[in-house]
């Protein structure tokens, strides 16, 4: 099983969550996604909040149907189901940025989110999941 962080501007990631499909022009990364993989959805650009958590419901596939808000087709895709986090419980990424293993230089942390999809280690997934659950319980 793999663990993925999906990071797009808020409107785009919310659209992906609504339609249950994530797409980019990045076969080398999306080609590794398999049904059952875990996903975390991050609203990037100005928000930097974790806004959803879920599971890939399909393996990688190619589709040229225009379904996304952003200009472009983004044919490399997978479907997923993500439970949105209540707005007042969204996790501020800066709370955990120092603890994410794939962020190897905190000074340039945003570089690690530019590709739109990041493969994480299980411990990163567990950290985010537990922090989100704690935030929702509070």
Domain CATH for 68: 3.10.590.10
Find out whether 108 and 49 touch, Cβ atoms under 8 Å: no
Q: State the pLDDT at residue 70.
A: 84
Average of pLDDT values for 78-82? 98
What tokens does 89 get? 């419980």
Find out whether 56 and 78 touch, Cβ atoms under 8 Å: yes
- 0.75 exceeded by the pTM? yes
Alpha carbon of 137 to those of 86, 89, 98, 132: distances in Å? Answer: 11, 9, 23, 9
| Domain tally, the chain | 1
Find out whether 4 and 33 touch, Cβ atoms under 8 Å: yes
Residue with tokens 């609504």: 18
Q: State the pLDDT at residue 138.
A: 64
Which candidate, 37, 40, 61, 60, places its Cα nearest to that of 50? Answer: 40
Q: Which residue range forms the structural domain that includes residue 47?
A: 3-137
* Per-residue pLDDT reduced to its tens digit, 87-129: 888 999 999 999 999 999 999 999 999 999 999 999 999 999 9
Q: State the pLDDT at residue 105.
A: 94
């Amino acid at each position: 099983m793999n663990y993925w962080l999906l990071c797009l501007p808020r409107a785009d990631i919310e659209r992906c969550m609504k339609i249950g499909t994530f797409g980019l022009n990045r076969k080398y990364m999306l080609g590794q996604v398999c049904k059952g993989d875990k996903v975390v959805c991050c609203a990037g650009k100005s928000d930097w909040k974790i806004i959803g958590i879920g599971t890939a419901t399909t393996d990688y596939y190619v589709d040229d149907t225009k379904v996304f808000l952003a200009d472009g087709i983004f044919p490399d895709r997978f479907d997923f189901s993500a439970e949105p986090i209540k707005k007042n419980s969204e996790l501020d990424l800066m709370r955990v940025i120092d603890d994410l293993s794939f962020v190897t230089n905190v000074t340039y942390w945003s570089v690690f989110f530019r590709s739109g999809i990041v493969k994480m280690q299980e411990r990163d997934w567990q950290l985010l999941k537990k922090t989100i659950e704690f935030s929702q319980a509070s």
